[in-house]
Chain A
Amino acid sequence: MKEKLLLILYFTGLLLLFNIAVSFGQGFTVRGTISDATTEAGLPGVNIVEKGTTNGTITDMDGKYSIEVADPSSELEFSYVGYLTETVRVNGRQEINFAMVEDIMQLEELVVVGYGSQRKIDLTGSVSVVNTENLEKITSNSIAKVLQGQTPGVQVYGGGEPGALPKVQIRGIGTFLNSDPLYVIDGVPIANVTNINISGESMLFENHQPGYGSLAPTGGISDFNPSDIESVQVLKDASAAAIYGARGANGVIIITTKRGKAGAVKINYEGSYGIQNVAKRMDLTKREQFQEISNLARTNDNSQPAPVNNPAAVTFYIDSIDTDWQEEFFTQGYITDHNLSFQGGTENSGYYASISYFDQTGTVVGPGPRYTKYGARLNLDQKKGRFTFGQSLSYTFSDQVRLANTRWNDIMTELVIAIPTVPVYDSINLGGYGGGTPFYDQIAGNPVAFNNLHEINFKRHRFFGVVFGEVEILKGLSYRLNLSYDRSEWFNKEFVPEYRVGDRHTWSRPMLSVWRGENPIMIMEHLLNFKKVIGKHDIAAVAGYTAQKDHTEDIYGHAEGYARPYLNKVLSGVSSGQSSKNRRIEHAMLSYLGRINYSYDDKYLVTASMRRDYSSNFSPLNKYGDFPSFALGWKVSNEGFFNVPFINVLKIRGGWGKIGNENIDPYLYESYVNNAVNYIFNGQLTPGTTQTRAIDPQIRWEERVTSYAGFDLAMWSNRIELSAEYYRNEANDILMGYPLPISSGAIAFQIDAANVASMVNKGVEITARYRKFEGDFHYEISGNIATLKNEVTDLGLTGIPIETNSTKTEVGSELGELYGHVFEGIFQSADEINTVPPDDPLFDPNKHAYQHPQTKPGDVKFKDINGRDEDGNLTGQPDGQIDVDDQTYLGSPFPKFTYGFNASADYKGFDISIFIQGVYGNKVYNGLYQVMNSLVEGNYSVESYENYWREDRPSDTWPRPTRNDHNGNNRASDRWIQDGSYLKIQNVQLGYTIPVNILNRIQGIGIENFRIYLQAQNLFSFTKLVCYDPDFINDRDQDNPVSDLFTKGVLGGSFPSPRTLMVGVSLSL
């Protein structure tokens, strides 16, 4: 873009030069050279104007100029696109050499804002432009992951498993449905990542499987290659995103891929290779320590030690096995990334082509997880006269071997509870892996076995194509047609052989499940663009009409009863467990949109937009919604009265808008009958049909009303930039499963979707940047910080709180606040149990137990907080009894603030950068810590071993081991609540660019640029959280993505991101 502008300016400048040369021919002459402050090279085409006159000139190819001015006290103004304009008083000098400073605000930079673009300086909405230089430094399969910490208000969680899809949230959660933002690539909204439940009621794996989570059949943004990205913009509020109407509720991330540039072909290669390790280890008990606790947990409950742990049971006792499961399970993984691109074009055409290969193996033993991705892209542009055509075509194939989960737990939980007396391998067992026998008397898992035995292979194809044509109808008015086709296809194959991993983990039905499906999306867009400058009025407008049709169709097959050896794992099983299913889900949208951007005198900016969407997800009565927005901006620094010399730019802006969310399962407004409600009459299966689920035919759009105010500031020749915003997002009519009384008779006693809840999110976002760009030593530091306050304001008719095992969401509270009992100490004696709490007059040991009839010394004492009166209403007073009413608020899952910090510097070819990211002030319900420390079953932490209560070693903080845990020592309580703050050194990179003169000496093939670098990703985390990775997604209930929202502060067995050490090279020819 810049080159083109330069060319145009150059030629117009030349013309000017001739004109001026003819018109003026006398006076005082000034000469000099204008150079770039950074490169010190001469700048051609710089405009030089004698202030207050029309007298001017431009520099020549070497940056030299000469101008005659009226008198020696004149002022000269130097201006050049992309550089700061400067004014210099001649003061009688005949030679003025001047170094121009690049305008790092890049005020003229065009920013894509959806159905059009705007100068960055003219933005009125809440739009973040992501620094793509920083993105390029992080190697990941997903664009989503590299966004982490780069922009305030954009939170990215988890995604440690190769091929995993991290969760991205913009300004918090405003829906109970999928909260992923909308991604728009090269102008086309792409499919949301929709998890299809494969073990839910919908279709797959029901009662068949040893337990896997859901799969995302479309890879969303992860199917696109981060190296192809030219720019990323984040539309965070409705005044910017309302142009996307019903799809913009969660914010919009607009990605533009690289396109051809006029010039000779430029070949770029980037490659990196790294090793990956999970560095963290939990401190778990060894065999003897484990056996001691395990035996006590039984003898404390009046039962016998398990024979394998009992030295008296001589033939069974195990003293020769001491498996360190973490060492057995974790291994070194590898990551490889190659990108090769070709870029070039002529004045009227351009091309960009790339191929890429990405491969990441897991950090655990076994075939999975592993993720391999192959990609190719071809972007073309053609121009003739008034006509412009273009194409963006990409294809990605990904091959993912999934991490196996087990029948009972996710595999990370399985790892920490795996007991040391089980051998990893045991040839006696079918399948070859060790496991417990009945003499172990506990569920003894083997994570190595599960991850090796279960084969899960998920393959995805993604074709994405946009074709557009544009014609300039009149000057300033153009029509554009976009046609896009976005097709995902997937094939998932899962095989579970017959195996025996101990008595509790045997699988006797070798089975195969296959799942294949397609999701094509077709979008047609007609857009009219209008641009006109009339005096001080600058008007840009767009009007459009779009239609979208998409569907998901999948087939599923399952068979069991394969014979060893399993040669052909195709659907040819022979048992009774065979089934196959087919499903088709259709969706259509139709939209009208319009937007007008108006500015007056480059001081006052107004944007207004309107969109009407029709969606097939709602009944004909409620099928459309209107989404208006407006925003205002005031460039204070352009006012005549504004005279603060060190401030270059001051802009105040604010906006309001309404967006919608229609991203629900289809057909939810329409009740249907189930025709499998069969019964036996006369010994024969007789079909029956009836409605089994309740629906609400009145469902309508979720609505998000947002408003914001903020300012942008650039100071000291734009060396310092500062932006701050305050926002308030109100989410209304949130669709959720609406709880019905059980007596409704409806399955799951709920309406699957009703407009029930409301929420408010508000917060402040600040970004700041400082850059030093003169001389040999350059550096830049930038940081961002964001706060988010969430409040649930409505939960419907009955206002019933949404409770999970350890969280509660109620009106007036935050989403998923942590909830449970309060630890008060350890009962030291039977007397204490019978009199406790001594100051509680309501406690009567003859009437009921304080906690449980079988509470014993060494058990946890929880705090008595609340009780009920005779009518069953809560009193807020202790009642001498510990029950569910004594659960209380235990902390907020929302960080007080989140932050990111980038620093980079370079000196004569060497460059270094560091990226730090973190969250502060949230609480986490640590489920992993809970299973390690529950002193019930499974392996234990050394911490619990060293501290547990014994009569001869009393403790007031740690309870006794008890297998049955009648007292509920391990119930949800603040024992498991930890500080979730962390600071993560996400990326450190050291690079060296070989100087051009050396390259010239060694090459004969024209290498233009050659850089090598060393890099560490996810180097270290500072945190108090006891876990493998403080950056987690709650994996506890993968089958139910909605439940994640309500348990976002609950740490389960989220797969950790590895520490990565890499070397890389980038090369251009």
Chain B
Amino acid sequence: MRTIKYIPVLAGMIFLATSCSEDFVDLTNPNQITTGSFWKTEDDAVLGTNAMYQALIYDGTYMRFGPWVMDVRADDALSTTPGYFPEDVANYIVDAANIAYRMPWEHNYVGVWRANQVLDNIEGIPMDEGLKARCKGEAYFIRGLCYFNLLNLFRNVVLYDHIAQSVDDYYIPQSSPEEVWQFAIQNFKNATDNCWTKDEVVAEKQLGRATKAAAAAFLAKSYVINHQFDSAAPVLLDIISTADGGNQKYGEYKLVDNYRDNFTEENENNSESIFEIQYAEIAGLSVQGFTGDPQPDWLKTDAHHKGLAAQPWGWGDLAPNPWIYEQFQLEKTVDGKRDPRMEASLIFYHDDDPTYTIYGFNQDSLLPAEYQPDPAHPVTPLEAMTFATPDVVSDTFKVFIRKWLTEDPVVEDAWLSTINRRVMRYDDVLLLYAECQNELNNRAACAKYIQIVRDRANLPDREAEFAGFTQEQMRDQIDHERLLEFCFEAWRYIDMLRWGWFDDDNPETFIIDELRLRDPEYLNWIPGREYMAIPPEEISRTNGIVKQNPGWN
């Protein structure tokens, strides 16, 4: 019976043993907001919608590689880089380490996932219906835009129309390009229906959001790329202002007087801009967020300009093809001057302006000795666009693209360019509409819209002459007009693709030999490689479920 006195001990022990139950181990994460507690309120819906846009300023979307890989493969720009990423892209070579292939694939899909999160979660959120429509419209736009980019870059892509529910959902094969284009077009249609108009965006101080016009413009461009000109024309006409004979359905857009205003800090979100990537310098942010999980200290600035700026100010990744210097010289303005778009697009030797400076250096001080212009002869394109760097050690020559460049030299480790990137402009709408009219055999209408764009550049009125062109002549003229209007803006290569220049099945449009004369980087092109290689890592990650593009195996 002596053991009786230990009963309290035993009881105490049992009490202690059971005082913690199994929910002792149910802990909540104090550092993060869990997904389960998000997507509940109107604020959550707006926050989730905002987050999609950040996907547009990753390395592979608009911040650097996205436009870069388009420009470097087009005939208006050459790779002059010391690094092999763009050099290999320009020369149609791929290897697994080349992130210039991976980043655009990766980051456009980040946009797709974020848009799918909005679209899959927003229906259950009790909120203002107008705001809900806007959020959905923007999600449709971002998803459409990312697929638009993926299709133009890679053509054969994987279609995610919802967020994955299980690991297996990630391992799906590519869909046909036709099916994905149809998906992108449907997204742009839905976005056109749901987004705000430009006026609403301005009134609500939400500049930068996708608008009805932006969605409609990409919808029309998708049609044009797929040669559906009859579908594209009315969509474009809805955007065109009444002053230019359009329906002006989504608010008024018009060309700015000065073409250069499309590439400067001062004139952002102007009347010509339809969709624009927003950059700004914000105090306290210090890290260029190329890729990875966004951090609070990530800059909201562009890095593309650093690749464009010549060494030693930048990396000199890209340079204009000297051929384009001649294209700009073909026509003078009505008052006998250079096309103003040349000044806005290129940095070149001004033989008529001895005071011309580049980042504060007089142009003569940068001219290599062997290129000192001979007064007896006109400056050749190569001479006009070749400068020595002011670095006494290095004797490499670099040439300049001016579009997107800040006027200040790019200093070491500074990525800051806060110039917004105008992705879609009204001039494109006008020229696309002109092209549709040519394809639909309305030469006069085509000539009219071409001339509207030429007028802004102060070029002679040749509307009547153009109206008399054959369809084929007009196509050549449109090629020329678009080249001068959109060089180094990542559109040129998409134009070259849709015009069939690499289509070896179509001898009428296939002009690879001509391109090779213009730009030796096409020597390595083989059929199929006009589209980017699917990043080799993706093939291995999916163990072959995702297939490599033709021409790249």
Contacts and interface: CB of A to CB of B under 8 A. Distances in A.
Contacts of B33: 672-673, 675, 689
Contacts of B31: 583-585, 667
Contacts of A844: none
A18 B10 CA distance: 43
Interface string A613-629: 01110001001100000
B538 A743 contact: yes
Given A687-B50, A691-B35, A749-B541, A206 B295 contact: yes
Interface in B123-164: 157-158, 160, 164
B112 interface: yes
Given A623-B22, A688-B51, A744 B27 contact: no
A439 interface: yes
B300 A614 contact: no
Interface in A660-705: 666-667, 670-694, 696
Interface stretch (A258-266, A794-802, A894-902, A975-983): A794-802
Nearest to B164: A744
A746 interface: yes
A219 interface: no
A9 interface: no
Contacts of B29: 666-667, 670, 672
B506 interface: no
B34 A672 contact: yes
A207 B167 contact: no
Contact of B51 (A206, A680, A689): A689
B334 interface: no
Interface stretch (B278-286, B377-385, B463-471): B278-286
A624 B26 CA distance: 11
B26 A678 contact: no
B9 A473 contact: yes
A16 interface: no
A673 B38 contact: yes
Contacts of A682: 205-208
B113 A689 contact: no
Nearest to A612: B22
Contact of B36 (A471, A615, A670, A687): A670
A738 B167 contact: yes
Contacts of B22: 590, 614, 623-624
Contacts of B117: 690-691
B283 A576 contact: yes
A479 B8 CA distance: 13
Given A473-B3, A583-B31, A798-B542, A677 B294 contact: yes
Contact of A590 (B9, B25, B168): B25
A744 B170 contact: yes
B25 A679 contact: no
Nearest to B102: A742
Interface stretch (B12-20, B65-73, B229-237, B361-369): B12-20
A797 B545 CA distance: 12
Contact of B26 (A549, A616, A743): A616
A675 B47 contact: yes
Nearest to B32: A672
Given A474-B3, A588-B25, A743 B114 contact: no
A671 B35 contact: yes
Contacts of A207: 286-287
A744 B10 contact: no
A671 B31 CA distance: 12
Contacts of B294: 674, 676-678, 692
B96 interface: yes
B99 to A, nearest CB: 11
A690 B114 contact: yes
Contacts of A88: none
B296 interface: yes
A283 interface: no
B184 interface: no
Contact of B110 (A675, A676, A745): A745
Interface residues of A, number: 84
A281 interface: no
Interface residues of B, number: 88
Q: Which of B25, B278, B293, B542 has the most CB of A within 10 A?
A: B25
B17 A672 contact: no
A754 B297 CA distance: 30
Given A207-B287, A741-B170, A616 B25 contact: yes
A275 interface: no
A745 B25 contact: no
Nearest to B392: A438
Contact of B293 (A615, A692, A754, A872): A692
A586 interface: yes
B215 interface: no
Q: Which of B44, B205, B292, B294 has the most CB of A within 10 A?
A: B294
Interface string B204-232: 01111100000000000000000000000
A744 B113 contact: yes
Contacts of B3: 473-474
A681 B168 CA distance: 37
A620 B111 CA distance: 32
A576 B171 contact: no
Interface in B278-331: 278-280, 282-284, 286-287, 292-298, 300
Contacts of A624: 22
A688 B48 contact: yes
B540 interface: yes
A754 B167 contact: yes
B535 interface: yes
Nearest to A479: B13
A688 B47 contact: yes
B535 A798 contact: no
Contacts of A675: 33, 47
A683 B25 contact: no
B543 A798 contact: yes
B544 interface: yes
B300 A689 contact: no
Interface string B164-196: 100110110000000000000000000000000
A526 interface: yes
Nearest to A692: B293
Contacts of A884: 95-96
A739 interface: yes
Interface string B536-553: 011111111111100001
Contacts of A740: 167, 170, 541
Nearest to A871: B553
Contact of A800 (B113, B543, B553): B543
Contact of B208 (A201, A583, A681): A681
Contacts of A473: 3, 6, 9-10
B252 interface: no
A830 interface: no
B26 A620 contact: yes
Nearest to B297: A579
Nearest to A805: B97
B51 A741 contact: no
27 contacts: A201-B292, A524-B16, A547-B20, A586-B30, A588-B25, A623-B25, A667-B31, A671-B34, A673-B32, A676-B298, A678-B300, A679-B300, A681-B208, A690-B52, A692-B110, A742-B109, A743-B105, A743-B109, A745-B110, A748-B292, A748-B293, A749-B541, A798-B542, A798-B545, A872-B539, A872-B548, A884-B96
The 4 lowest CB-CB distance pairs between A and B, nearest first, are: A745-B113, A688-B51, A688-B50, A672-B32
Interface of B: 3, 6, 9-10, 13, 16-17, 20, 22, 24-27, 29-36, 38, 44, 47-54, 57, 95-96, 102, 105-106, 109-114, 117, 157-158, 160, 164, 167-168, 170-171, 205-209, 278-280, 282-284, 286-287, 292-298, 300, 393, 535, 537-548, 553
Interface of A: 201, 206-207, 438-439, 441, 471, 473-474, 479, 481, 524, 526, 545, 547, 549, 576-577, 579, 583-590, 614-616, 620, 623-624, 666-667, 670-694, 696, 738-749, 751, 754, 797-800, 868, 870-872, 884
